[in-house]
Structure 1
């Protein structure tokens, strides 16, 4: 709403002309929705990235300087992105974590005023208020040195992909280009999301002990997460999901006592004692969001469930069985699913003997509010969804896999249910209402056996 109010104060049509160096990096901001005026305002940007003085700029400045400090900061932040850009809230949250964007305007009144829109844009990278953000650079190399030399007080370096599209390609020509970070002791957020050709993390990152967010999602060439990750003692957010060449997790993760969000934790069918396990994660008393990638169909064992239950503050849990196909390119008939389930059960009985020290009834953490199951490899509802322990569960998402029924699930508090690509699932709408009496939202995508659901053409049902 604040952005909408600010938008209404900007002239109706604003065309921005750039020189050849910066022309590809931003698009004109033209919004005819404010009024029907056909007049054009011209604003030029010189090589340093600053706006030339024009009558249009004068009009903008009058409105801009009438805002409080916090509103100026927020507007200034969004102006560095192209017209009609779409981003997820995670992107802005990272800036909030760094302290560059205030949560509330009144908290920022003690700081100096913002006097201009942005600061410097060069070859797709923008320097903005102790931050570097990759607006649209596809290749990061030595040509960006003018940006990297802006000082040693950076709080945010967001070289990775912020765009929603997973096809947006970014690469680093030489990992040594990151050496400019060595002396950034104030750094709070580092994102290398979606950047290719990064096979390992530079050792000096271990010295950035003030780092709170490290985003390595979809770094497809990353081969190992080093054990020195445990030296980043202030880390609260770590995303290593989508790094498919990783085969284990370092035990150093267990030393991140302030960690709140961990995405992409890998569990492999390995006896490697150097690998981090769920048991090691039980030391993370602040962990509230966890996503796990599994290659072994026997997960979770009784012991793993016991350790999961000890994550007392866990609110969101996602489990992805990567060995299963989400959409049916193989034989996923009920008969094949039953055979697969029987084999899995037999395998589990051989590899796991119940520990008499474990409680008889093993459950997921009672603190869970959201549970996602992706590629679940069995046909029946698992035992850990049949317990009465999920008193706080509000969201249940099931995507892909071999699940055939939900008739024994005990999650009556669920309000949002998502069923995607579960081709074998068969259940009557009346039974859904009995299982989830508090349901207010349901989404169904490509579930051919759920024909009797009263969803609209988009597969949505709302109470």
Structure 2
């Protein structure tokens, strides 16, 4: 038996001796029933009063809650180990049957398939991500939980990895890799550029794959074709054991994974394959470098310097430039005219990671020569106040990510000339007050994030506004748009014409609306104006218009499956947000604002189709658990955070409730 097999077997044996494995249903361990009292948020003080009943041993409610949580976590751990034991027994039985019944001419191939499956499973045995206990030392990066003995073995493995290529486990991984399609191989090798234990957002990888042309979708039908193709790749790579799919926020896990991670052992194997394929230049520790002399990709790293090409042909070699951890950009990009992927912004999960640039105009001018550029990311780059018109000459640009460029004030007037754009993100660019009118010319756009609803699309003063702002009605030409996020800079709700405009987008399935001023503290002048406005309203004899009324009865987008409301200023739900208007809505997220009640329909038959419900920072929201379950009968997953009036919810210590009678999605 090889040393890797002994290692994995010893881990299981130690766990088996330490815990007596019981045959417990995973659903019983991972979920809680509708009844009972549980800790609803991470902060117990907001949810458990001193007057509540103490535990049977006279312990305080907080101690009882913490003890129950530990008990549930240990039960989950034991049920996971039980699953592995059952899997080993099943495979052993399968091999035994093969030896007795399988024809001799096919026996070897069948046994080889079992061997490859076992090799894949072994890679996930030591550190499944949902049992990880290690904490990240770097924002956005998280550690894979392994014991000290495992760490020592991994260090030895890294030191002499080339000498151990004959290991059955490594050979098994290489055989699995060789069976992948070329498209899947290249997509997988992109992950080797990231630091060890890095958690990588799916969106970052999808944009990279599309930019390089590794992910090509020719299907003209369906605006989400790229998303579906990418999910297929993630699913297959996860099932084969190459990657670990990571759920949002670790222990506060989402039912749908939005990130992925490479196990350190798998990363070392893939690094060897990446070197052979000349995919990246990697140093002895397996980290990507700025060197592109032997490959077509380079990574910006802290302390490293991207070399200036000595000839034009040398500059044309570089196809991808990815900023891995460099926080100060000082680049001359004029020479890299063949570059397709330029990821200068942040990729880390943490929003605290910002990137500085000393000479933003010079940097941006250099991008104007990259006529083959398909993916440009400046996410989180500071000191960019304005984009030059030359950016609009990048006629091959497909993805433009300007998210969280906090100094950005204006978008180029000619942005509509980027006819191939399918993904445009300028969310969290709060200095931008209006959208260029030419935005409506982007008819291939599928994702638009950060659209500003400026003064309801009306101009204040024609003399001050030479260029009319793009309105919501102008987006009707975007027949492929499936994801849209809006920003309202005042505490008004969507009006009838806005609902009508949204209904003109046939493919719209995901909508986010953010109210900015609703979450800000009013100044003294604002408060005075508010009092005057209130007096005027009270003195008015005109009848009040019903709140959020839809006088024309305009239908809300019928395909909408996800709705995210942030900073909603009203105490009651919008008029257009009823179960009858959004019949196929599956995901409802409400974050911040003044919402006091979730259900504005008084009828007992108002049943929502929502499966995933997230409630965060709702100080005024109050609803009984049984009422919520009645109106949301299809609920599979509930997350609540800092909602002090939502008490007696059977959530765990992280504010999560999962329906024990429903299969977990994702």
1:236-275 maps to which residues of 2 (within 5 A)? 236-269=422-455, 271=459, 274-275=468-469
TM-score under structure 2 normalisation?
A: 0.55
Measured after TM superposition, the shift of residue 57 of structure 1 is: 8.8
Q: CA RMSD in A?
A: 4.2
In structure 2, how many angstroms separate the alpha carbons of the residues matched to 1:118 and 1:162? 18
Tell me the equivalent position of 2:190. Answer: 77
> Which ranges of structure 2 fall in alignment gaps of 5 or more residues?
1-115, 125-140, 216-229, 234-274, 282-287, 292-298, 307-316, 460-464, 523-530, 660-666
Instruction: Mark the CA change 1:30 to 1:367 in structure 2 (over 3 Å): closer, same or farther.
Output: closer
Give the distance between the partners of 1:344 and 1:209, measured in 2 at CA: 53
Greater mean alpha carbon deviation, residues 95-104 or residues 271-280:
95-104
> For each residue in 1:172-209, what CA deviation from the matched residue of structure 2 results, as whole angstroms up to 9, or x when unmatched?
21121233333322211100000001111122111111
Out of 385, 394, 403, the position equivalent to 2:577 is 385
Contact 1:43–1:56 (CA under 8 A) maintained in structure 2: no
In terms of fraction of residues, the more helix-rich structure is: 2
Deviation sequence 1:251-281 (CA, Å, 0-9, x none)? 1111100000000111233625611110111
Work out whether residues 187 and 209 of structure 2, in 8 Å CA contact, stay in contact via their aligned partners in 1: no
CA distance in 1, matches of 2:533, 2:587: 26
Q: Is the 8 A contact 2:496 2:552 kept in 1?
A: no
1:40 counterpart (156, 161, 166)? 156
Alignment of 1:53-452 (within 5 A): 55=163, 67-68=177-178, 69-70=182-183, 72-102=185-215, 115-119=277-281, 121-122=289-290, 125=300, 130-142=319-331, 145=332, 148=333, 151-175=336-360, 176-269=362-455, 271=459, 274-325=468-519, 360-386=552-578, 388-409=580-601, 412-452=608-648
Q: Is the 8 A contact 1:390 1:411 kept in 2?
A: no
Q: Deviations over 1:201-221 (max 9, x none)?
A: 122111111111000000011
Shift of 1:161: 0.3
What displacement does 1:455 show? Answer: 1.4
The answer for unaligned runs of 5 or more in structure 1 is 10-25, 45-52, 106-112, 331-338
Q: 1:74 to 1:97 in 2, by over 3 A?
A: closer
The Cα of 1:122 is off from its aligned counterpart by 2.8
How many angstroms does 1:288 deviate by? 0.5
**CA pair 153-166 structure 1, distance change in 2 beyond 3 A:** same
The separation in 1 between residues aligned to 2:630 and 2:186, in whole angstroms, is 49
> Would the aligned equivalents of 1:325 and 1:400 in 2 still touch at CA under 8 Å?
yes
> Per-residue deviation at 1:426?
1.2
Instruction: Flag the 1:461–1:149 CA change in 2: closer, same or farther, 3 A.
Output: same
> Which protein, 1 or 2, shows the higher relative CO under an 8 Å CA cutoff with sep ≥ 6?
2
Q: Tell me, in whole angstroms, the C-alpha distance in 2 between the residues paired with 1:360 and 1:240.
A: 32
Q: How many residues align?
A: 415
TM-score relative to the length of structure 1: 0.77
Structure 1 residues 214 and 284 mapped into 2: Cα distance closer, same or farther (>3 Å)?
same
Whole-angstrom CA distance in 1 between matches of 2:537 and 2:509: 29
